[in-house]
Amino acid sequence: MFVKKYFEEFELNNTRRTKGRTVTETDIVIHAGQSGDFFPHHMDEEWCKTQPFKKRIAHGTLVFTIAIGLTADFVNEVSMTYGYERLRFIKPVFIGDTLTVSVTIKEKKEHKKPGYGLVTEMVETFNQDNELVMVCEHLLLVNKKTN
């Protein structure tokens, strides 16, 4: 879906929640191949049994990718990603965990480039038990409706 949501139209503390997405073994294997990260924490079930979590964990970068992908349910034609900040992995994510994401408008401020504003979204990722597993801030460069 395509929308046009200008800087002035973003409301502080407005929150939206995504649908769910279950992490699979295939996700982990494909991500390892794409990233080159074959650490045993992700790939070696037997070795993981000797470690604190006792099972394989999803790559942090995979969790980030899935979470941000879940938030991409519409395209805002008058904004673009400016970056991500304060990324933290709070709890491990395992094969079979289902992730959902909550996106809250945290801050709006002027941008040095005329005609644009900067919107900061708080991105919180939860597992099926509603435990926070990842958090970050998403920065959006957004066109202003009026200059």
User: pLDDT at position 50, please?
Assistant: 96
Question: What CATH number should be reported for the domain holding residue 43?
Answer: 3.10.129.10
119 three-class SS: strand
User: pLDDT at position 147, please?
Assistant: 59
User: pLDDT at position 85, please?
Assistant: 97
134 Cβ contact list (under 8 Å, min separation 6): 60, 63, 64, 67, 87, 88, 89, 90, 93, 123, 124, 125
User: pLDDT at position 1, please?
Assistant: 77
User: pLDDT at position 93, please?
Assistant: 98
54 Cβ contact list (under 8 Å, min separation 6): 48
Q: Which domain holds residue 137?
A: 2-143
* Alpha carbon of residue 138 to chain centroid: 8
How many domains is the chain partitioned into structurally? 1
User: pLDDT at position 33, please?
Assistant: 97
Segments of the chain with pLDDT less than 50 = none
pTM, two decimal places: 0.93
